[in-house]
Amino acid sequence: MAEVKSIHTKLDALLLLKTELSKLATTVREMEESVSFLSKRYDTVLVELKSTQEKAASREAELQSLKEVVQTQAHQLDQILREQNEAEQYSRKANMEIHGLTMGVKENLSEWIAKLAETLEVPNFSTDDIVAIHRLPAKQGTIPTILVRFASVALKETWFGLRGKLRELRDDDSDVIPKLFFNENLTRANRRLFWLARVTAKANGYKFAWVRGGRIFVKKFEDAPLIRVISEADICRITRDASPPSVSESEANV
């Protein structure tokens, strides 16, 4: 009887062990399924991540390409605007602005310019020298500028050469003529550039800034080389006191 009882005890232990092993097998199987699911999910995530990275790289390449296109177009536009400005300024080479003449009620600018030519002793002056003369629009409260278009650039330069004499008469208190100034007829872009050049040059110790033939120049002191200001990049160089390319006196007088 004792042996039978021992056998039953062992059988019960084996049955209990079988049950535990079955539970363990189930747990292992569930863990394997979970690991398999996670592995598949990981592979999916890797594929999605790779796809996302490829799309990001593609978009970055597209963005870089777009940036290059924009930069190229901006450069081309800048070049077109520069060429247009140069062409417009060239078309004004025979023009001259006269500043300082108060506007009369019934003024006759053609007669007035003829009298001014006589006062300045303009050589061989003829009314045919003047193609057009008129006032430019002006802000309220300011004296409208007079624009004179000469028959040739040479005639305009003749008048410009008399600015010294005009200055003498202007500084004279005899009231022979009003306080007049002769200036180049600049484009809007060049007027702004000249204003920037004057302000920047003064702030950086440059003594001279002027326009000749529609071209802008600055010079730090009397014997310093002439510097032509072509764009705002030249203004930045003046600010850093790293001069743009200099030009000769003869080039500035053309």
Provide the residue ranges of all domains of the chain, joining segments of one domain with +.
1-91, 96-184, 188-252
Q: What is the CATH number of domain 96-184?
A: 3.30.70
> Which DSSP category does 152 fall into?
S
Instruction: Output the six-digit token pair for 243.
Output: 């001069």
> What b/e sequence results for 90-124 when a residue is b if at least 16 CB atoms lie within 10 Å of its CB, and e otherwise?
eebbbbbbbeebeeeeeeebeeebbebbeebebee
Instruction: Output the six-digit token pair for 115.
Output: 């009298």
Ranges assigned E (strand) in the chain: 95-99, 130-135, 146-150, 181-184, 208-212, 215-219, 226-229, 246-247
Would you report the helix, strand and coil content of the chain in percent, each value rounded to 5? 60, 15, 25
Residue with tokens 């602005």: 97
Let me know how long the chain is: 254
Predicted local confidence at residue 192, as pLDDT? 95
The rounded mean pLDDT for the chain is: 86
Residue with tokens 């624009």: 147
Q: What's the pTM value of the predicted model, to 2 decimals?
A: 0.68
pLDDT tens per residue across span 38-92: 888 888 888 888 888 888 888 988 889 989 999 999 889 988 999 999 999 999 9
Residue 244 — pLDDT band, cuts 50, 70, 90? very low
Single out the residue of 152, 117, 145, 111 nearest to residue 131, CA to CA. Answer: 152
Residues 6+ apart with CB under 8 A from 227: 217, 218, 219, 234, 238, 243, 244, 245, 246, 247
Predicted local confidence at residue 173, as pLDDT? 56
pLDDT tens per residue across span 135-185: 999 898 899 999 999 999 999 999 999 999 998 887 765 555 778 999 999
Instruction: Output the six-digit token pair for 66.
Output: 């777009």
